[in-house]
Amino acid sequence: MTPLDFYQYLIRKGFEERKSQRDMISIVDETVQNGGVKLVEAPTGTGKTFAYLIPIIVGQQKAIVSTGTKILQDQLKRDIEFLSSHWKILTGKKVNYAVIKGKGNYLCLDRFFKEEIEATDRLEIETLMETEWDGDLTLTGISMESLTKINVDEDYCTYAYRQTCPYFSQCYYWSRIKKREASADILVINHSLLALKDFDTKERILIIDEAHELDRYLTLATTFGISLYWLKDVQRGLEKLLGESVYLPAEEFFIKNFEELFSEEDREIPLENLKEYIPQMRELLYEPLKISVNKLREKIEKEVRDFAENRLMVSFTFKDYIASTLLFEEEFVENLNAGYEEATAEERDLIDLIKKLDFYKRKLNKLKAFIGLADREEEGIGFQISRTWSKKLNGHNYRLEAFYIFPQGIVEPEDYKGVVLTSATIEPEDIYLTTGIVGEYHKLDHNYDYTRSTVIIENTNPKREDWKEKLLNSYYILRSQYDKVLVLLTNKEHLKLFDEEEEVGIQGKDSLTKLIDYLRNGHIKVLIGLDSLWTGVDVKGDKGILISKLPFENPKDPLTYHRIKFLKERGEDPFLYQRRKAYIRFRQGVGRLVRQKSDRGTIVICDDRIWRYREFIDFLNSIGIRIISKGKFAKSRYRYPFW
């Protein structure tokens, strides 16, 4: 059976046939058979999920499907279930798949039974543990402070400790998720996990969905840094183990250097480099922490040696763990006489202490590595300082971070049997610049009829005094016409314009998933938001869309700032990059309008600067949508009631 045979079977079952979907099935099947890298622009309505899953299922291929968010992972799960059920009816064969998230999303039982967390959070976890829950902490309502204390942490859950962990056989991640991963033919992951390469890629096809956002997620996944909360948490842990106060003036470092940089609305600020802060990082952070970790090492080493001197025999578990830590000289380890398998309660307590020492040594090494990175001034690395309010600190938590300006080479196509990148807005030049990936480009035909819909370009822009007035006027008109309205903003300050509105959902005041459901079900009439609203919303039915301005990235955003700076230093024009990114996001925003064949609606753009950028207008013309201009480009033959 070929993929197109299975596709014809689905059509006979009532599934809608689409030419672009058929074309994409053939493109993906060619990649399955012959390898290579394909870039597939699949406009809204292609049904790209089915188009890449069908060749994988029919070809009984091992595959990794990576998408932008955990929400989209859950959507993919439903599509695989649908195809799997039909495939089993047709062939009797089952499709083995697993939805995998990063290890930091899952509960660590060992930490859970040792750490102190909020009572309500503990009760919620205990209740979930009595169900068929898979240990995914992101599906709970616990606080971020609790989550970071009880999740799987690579500095805590080391290979050596896993050999002795009393909960390893019950572990949600290592004994359940990883086993499911090993047996699955199709792994559904997200772009952040893709960057970590925490899975076997051998002989697997890689599908990168929502590829237009790949570089952003790769940057987030590889961002590396320290924070005030992180340092205070380390300090508290050391004080508890040492039984004395630990000198670590982290507040002095962060507040003295960075507090005055922030205005009330700032959350992230780019930094040119960290050279000027290195002496302070060493003096105020690294050296005090090193002293305390060494004190802890001396204390624990003495306890272990005292224990060993008073024992004729120890367990193999204890001896093997001591050897694996490399904390003790070889002669000491060899002189331990092991004569039984399981560790005693006293040995288990010592193993736990050594584990904690190893944990804090790793934290110290991370701080050292971060200072070393700042000192090298490595090309292609950007820096930022951010702050958010922390209830635990009762003040701002400052976070100092480094990131790859262009995360090239993180995803290496040669590691896979074949690679397909797909999105409604694939731009090969942008994919190459930001990720280094090159492939054969395919652009599929549009599927939906936009000729029954309208774009109105208002005679204003954010630099004019009448912009806010016309933006709000357009908003009220769209509300009077449609039961569903999306307002796509680019500046969080503009969210305040809608604070007093009723039947409105504002991104950030509730989870986006909930707000989308509220709009779909009629509980609200308007959904207002920023970045993810441009790309991550699928609401069917007639609707109005208000685009506040062309979605050029804020040059003060740390990643954008460093990319502009980097390109300038290379002698390239950074505006070409900015313009290309804005064009991609604009097309994504327009794509929110028509999500099924019967949909129609109106888009209002309150930014007449669009006429400067030919590709934006060419795109609107290419999909056949009616354009009405109210400015100097207005044509008298256009008439629209309300405007």
| Residue 549 CB contacts under 8 Å (≥ 6 apart), including other chains | 461, 462, 490, 606, 607
45-80 pLDDT per residue, tens: 899 999 999 999 999 999 999 998 777 887 888 999
φ/ψ (deg, to 5) at 348: -60, -40
Residue 632 has pLDDT above 80, yes or no: no
Question: What pLDDT score was predicted for residue 280?
Answer: 96
Residue 489 has pLDDT above 50, yes or no: yes
pLDDT-based confidence at 641, cuts 50/70/90?
very low
Question: Are 68 and 536 in contact, with CB atoms under 8 Å apart?
Answer: yes
Question: What CA–CA distances, in Å, run from 100 to 10, 60, 166, 178, 606?
Answer: 28, 20, 24, 9, 41
Four-CA torsion 610, 615, 621, 624, nearest 10 degrees: -110
Q: Which domains does the chain have, with CATH numbers?
A: 3-96+184-221+411-443 (3.40.50.300), 104-170 (no CATH), 224-404 (no CATH), 454-629 (3.40.50.300)
Question: For residues 437 and 122, what is the distance between their CA atoms, to the nearest angstrom?
Answer: 44
Residue 434 has pLDDT above 50, yes or no: yes
Question: What pLDDT score was predicted for residue 163?
Answer: 83
Question: For residues 504 and 293, what is the distance between their CA atoms, to the nearest angstrom?
Answer: 52
Question: What pLDDT score was predicted for residue 243?
Answer: 95
Q: Do the strands 381-390 and 543-547 form a parallel or antiparallel pair, or are they unpaired?
A: unpaired
310 alpha carbon, distance to own chain's centre:
52
Stretch 533-540: mean pLDDT: 86
DSSP state of 42: -
510 alpha carbon, distance to own chain's centre:
18
377-410 pLDDT per residue, tens: 788 999 999 999 988 889 999 999 999 999 999 9
pLDDT-based confidence at 101, cuts 50/70/90?
confident
Q: What is the mean pLDDT of the chain?
A: 92
Question: For residues 301 and 327, what is the distance between their CA atoms, to the nearest angstrom?
Answer: 8
DSSP state of 631: S
Structure tokens at 39: 């870039």
Structure tokens at 330: 């070889």
Question: What pLDDT score was predicted for residue 633?
Answer: 56
114-159 pLDDT per residue, tens: 999 999 999 999 999 999 899 999 888 898 889 999 999 988 888 8
247-287 pLDDT per residue, tens: 999 999 999 999 999 987 788 999 998 999 999 999 999 99
Residue 327 has pLDDT above 60, yes or no: yes
φ/ψ (deg, to 5) at 473: -60, -45
Q: Do the strands 440-443 and 37-41 form a parallel or antiparallel pair, or are they unpaired?
A: parallel
| Helix (H) or strand (E) run with residue 183 in it | helix 178-183
| SS3 label, residue 339 | strand
Question: What CA–CA distances, in Å, run from 395 to 228, 255, 262?
Answer: 10, 11, 14
Structure tokens at 382: 């950007």
